[in-house]
């Protein structure tokens, strides 16, 4: 697949700020948590690494930001028709919760290998679930069929300006909070800092990069994805969208970033704002989950741990100066799966 001949307009900072207004009282302004030992000589006791735990959102992941921002902008006629979406889990939860809050009927197409906890929470919010095979293309095709059959509004999981703007509010918070506090700020204006964010279809990474760099141009923002699902890295290196077969991306334990390709909207946004993409191994993801549990008392799902894995095991690939923020995108993982991955991480040396 090649990039579009006429790329769409990029999401703007004004659109992101408008999304933040819509999300007031709906999503949580997640904090920046210190991680690791203080920098020697730092009078405030600040460490170099910080965590933004999006797993503290009401649905346990960042996806409520984009889903609610999108559904809140539907017309009354569109709301009456209902919505349908395809998702492996966290976006499904976001749409289900947003639909319940706004009184909209929702159908969610989910893969048969989706974590049980995600499917249960989608059902708990009243959405109807349609189960298909593990391939993202199959989910997308069924969602389109349902939208056509029932006249429902199709809600993309990442490739939509409204989704991007909603997810970008996490980056808006980072840019505002990291410079707050005057002399006590983590990174006062003018001081470079780095943000690490997971990449699947690119909705979160493109939005966060846009928000952060629009407010703090001296910042560096890197996407992070598993080596086993590194289509985003290849796409950005080659300058066009590269699609990976579902059999390849399905190998990673990070189910939330198994998307086969970046989207028409997310790709140019990433090209414009992202500084690069790092990749991490499956074992590094497990080890990062252990560190999050032991050092921050946070239960992080594999997709959410990729950014921390990049900081822990690939710091030499990052700029040497300034604080580093790892955005932990979610914490929705089945208990048995979590225990097995923690065992794997501990066996590897945590």
For the annotated catalytic residues, the residue numbers are 63, 329
> Could you tell me the CA-to-CA distances from 97 to 54, 71, 80, 88, 154 in Å, in that order?
16, 10, 17, 15, 16
CA atoms of 327 and 56, how far apart (whole Å):
12
Distinct helix (H) and strand (E) counts, the chain: 14, 10
Considering only CA atoms, which of 170, 163, 165 is closest in space to residue 62?
Answer: 170
DSSP bridge pairs for 197: 223
CA atoms of 65 and 257, how far apart (whole Å):
17
Count Cα neighbours of 73 within 13 Å in the Cβ-side half-sphere: 20
**Residue 208 corresponds to which tokens in the numbers above?**
């966060």
CA atoms of 87 and 110, how far apart (whole Å):
5
Burial annotation 320-338 (CB, 10 A radius, 16+ → b, else e): eebbbbbbbbbbbbbeebb
Cα first-last separation, the chain: 39
């Amino acid at each position: 697949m090649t990039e579009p001949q006429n790329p769409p307009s990029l999401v703007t900072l004004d659109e992101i700020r408008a999304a933040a207004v819509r999300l007031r009282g709906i999503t949580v302004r997640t904090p920046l948590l210190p991680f690791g030992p203080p920098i020697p000589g730092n009078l405030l006791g600040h460490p170099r690494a910080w965590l933004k735990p999006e797993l503290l959102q009401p649905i346990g992941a960042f996806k409520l930001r984009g889903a609610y921002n999108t559904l809140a902008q539907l017309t009354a006629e569109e709301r009456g028709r209902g919505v349908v979406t395809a998702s492996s889990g966290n976006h499904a939860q976001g749409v289900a919760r947003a639909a319940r809050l706004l009184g909209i009927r929702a159908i969610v197409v989910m893969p048969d290998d989706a974590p049980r906890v995600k499917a249960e929470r989608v059902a708990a919010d009243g959405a109807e679930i349609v189960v298909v095979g593990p391939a993202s293309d199959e989910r997308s095709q069924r969602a389109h069929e349902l939208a056509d059959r029932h006249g429902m509004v199709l809600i993309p999981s990442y490739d939509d300006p409204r989704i991007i703007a909603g997810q970008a509010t996490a980056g808006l918070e980072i840019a505002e909070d990291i410079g707050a506090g005057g002399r006590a700020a983590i990174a006062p204006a003018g001081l470079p800092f780095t943000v690490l964010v997971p990449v699947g279809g690119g909705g979160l990474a493109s939005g966060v990069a846009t928000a952060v760099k629009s407010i703090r141009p001296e910042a560096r923002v890197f996407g992070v994805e598993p080596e086993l699902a590194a289509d985003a890295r290849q796409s950005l290196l080659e300058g066009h969208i590269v699609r990976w077969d579902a059999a390849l991306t399905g190998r990673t334990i990070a189910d939330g970033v198994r998307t086969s390709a970046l989207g028409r909207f997310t790709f140019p946004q990433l090209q414009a704002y992202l500084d690069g993409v790092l990749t991490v191994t499956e074992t590094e993801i497990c080890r990062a989950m252990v560190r999050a549990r032991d050092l921050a008392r946070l239960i992080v799902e594999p997709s959410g741990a990729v950014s921390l894995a990049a900081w822990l095991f690939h710091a030499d690939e990052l700029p040497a100066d300034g604080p580093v923020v790892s955005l932990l995108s979610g914490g929705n993982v089945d208990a048995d799966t979590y225990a097995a991955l923690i065992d794997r991480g501990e066996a590897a040396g945590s």
